[in-house]
Structure 1
Amino acid sequence: MENNMTDEMIVGRNSVMEAIKSGRVNKILLAKGDRQGSIREVIGVAKEKGILIQDVDIKKINDLAKGLRHQGVLAYVAPVEYVELEDILAKAEAAGQPPFIVLLDELEDPHNLGAILRTADAAGVHGVLIPKRRSCPLSATVAKTSAGAVEYVPVAKIGNVAQTIKELQRLGMWVVGADMDGDKDYYEADLTGPLVLVIGSEGKGIGRLTKEVCDFLVRIPMQGKINSLNASVAGSILMYESMKQRQIK
């Protein structure tokens, strides 16, 4: 019998296939050399959905499965289902509000992601976008840090960040990136209306290509010796500034 192992891992071909169909899988581990029967269908559906597949020695899966019958496949899963970008836009429309979206450019720390989701819920953000690759996925750590906000803030996985930004711009949204070399201080910018706030990764910030397609960049003024803020802190400042401006307008 196939079983869920923890809230982050699932083993067995049928269980993994169902998790893939539900949109909860972050990454799949496959035993090297095993490509017969139903495993081929698992691989095909996973590739269609853009899920990362990693070939590993079967010993690694044995160690992780801790005696459960895994059939050469293990999946890391999110605590909630991911949504599509269209679902986030529909949520804003149903509320009669201009879309308010946060896009995380290769954020890798689960504690930062959880904190951002918590603030996003409090600040009225309609959804959060994360890249499929080189980005922290939803996990039990994210869920715990979010204090339950992961249940209320929809999260969508996206492909190419620059292409997604251009698509949102075509839909009439303004895209504002947080960067220490920004054009203006964040409180001088208009953060109302259909808005996408782009927050960069820890240490590196927003990528060069992402900066180039943003409509403009804003900076958070700093007077101390440190020249950058934690990603979740920077995100919180900008989300609350946008909320304040929306309430005043």
Structure 2
Amino acid sequence: MEGFHRRQGAGIKKSQLIIGRQPIIEAIEAGRAIDKIFFQRGVTGDAIGKIRTLARDNNIPIQQVPPEKLNGLTKANHQGTIAIAGLVQYLDLQQVIDHIVSAGETPLMVMLDGVTDVRNIGAIARTAVCCGAQALIIPDKGVGALNEEAIKSSAGALEKIHVCRVNSLMKAVDTLHLNGIKVYASEMTANETVFELEYRDPCCIIAGSEDKGVFSGLLKISDSIFKIPMAGNFESLNVSVATGMILYEAMKQRMLNK
């Protein structure tokens, strides 16, 4: 499906700056991937209002910045706004689910909650592809940028996996549930272990941050909460390593089921 090819660049360069109001509107309307839009504080106007609406509809983060920030990015007339073109094409979650199902595959997805280290994100994407996961779900805020370092750490995996950017992980879980996809979240004090879950069903695994874990609201609406048993008394595993262990167990179950 042509619309599901990922687009990727060599890194954030001056050529990836989209400068000025109308060029940003045209880029969003053309479906170009946008990582972020900078607005100069206090900027107003009809075009600015339209950009805000388009950004909201396409889950594009907006950041208010002082004029020095924009002037440092370009010497051109930026009209109070600059967008950063993305290195990865972000896709709609429902469309990705429909695409996976129509291809005759059983959904296996990974949701990132508060994972800010871009090298961990890249490593998770790499393991996800190796273990047969089809998609990453990320929030539009509070997650590491899918920048050149993340793409390098993924060893090309971010070109092969669908990336869904959503404005609410809670709403994303609702969408998963409406499509019959179970949601599994890890919690160190859980009774159930990673080996007891059923991964042969359509499912999504939530990978939480190493310091705070999975957000309590997400834990409450997850179908199962599990732990990764450890031999020693150590605080926690690296998030990309833990996610790799979970995904490998999912792949093992699915391979034995064939």
SS of corresponding position for 1:210? helix
Q: Are 2:193 and 2:227, in contact at CA under 8 Å, matched by a contact in 1? A: yes
Question: 1 CA distance for matches of 2:113 and 2:230?
Answer: 22
Residue deviations 1:121-172 (CA, integer Å, cap 9, x gap): 1111111111122222322222121111111101111232223213322322
Q: Which runs of 5+ in 2 are unaligned?
A: 1-11
Q: What value does the CA root-mean-square deviation take over the aligned residues?
A: 2.1
Superposition pairs for residues 27-42 of structure 1, below 5 Å? 27-36=36-45, 38-42=47-51
Moved over 6 A (4+): none
Greater displacement, 51-60 / 40-49: 40-49
1:44 to 49, 53, 59: 53
Equivalence for 1:214: 222
Q: What is the percent sequence identity of the aligned residues? A: 32
Aligned length: 245
Greater displacement, 31-40 / 108-117: 31-40
TM-score by length of 1: 0.89
Superposition pairs for residues 151-170 of structure 1, below 5 Å? 151-170=159-178
Question: 1 CA distance for matches of 2:73 and 2:217?
Answer: 38
State the 1:58 CA deviation. Answer: 1.1
SS of corresponding position for 1:108? coil
Question: 1 CA distance for matches of 2:232 and 2:168?
Answer: 35
Letter aligned with residue 195 of structure 1: C
Q: Are 1:175 and 1:215, in contact at CA under 8 Å, matched by a contact in 2? A: yes
Question: 2 CA distance for matches of 1:122 and 1:114?
Answer: 13
Residue deviations 1:101-131 (CA, integer Å, cap 9, x gap): 1111222221111111111111111111111
Equivalence for 1:100: 108
Q: Are 2:115 and 2:143, in contact at CA under 8 Å, matched by a contact in 1? A: yes
Equivalence for 1:188: 196
SS of corresponding position for 1:92? helix
SS of corresponding position for 1:79? coil
Q: Are 2:34 and 2:83, in contact at CA under 8 Å, matched by a contact in 1? A: yes
Letter aligned with residue 172 of structure 1: G
TM-score by length of 2: 0.86
Greater displacement, 206-215 / 73-82: 73-82
State the 1:5 CA deviation. Answer: 4.0
Q: Are 1:29 and 1:53, in contact at CA under 8 Å, matched by a contact in 2? A: yes
Letter aligned with residue 197 of structure 1: I
Q: Which runs of 5+ in 1 are unaligned?
A: none
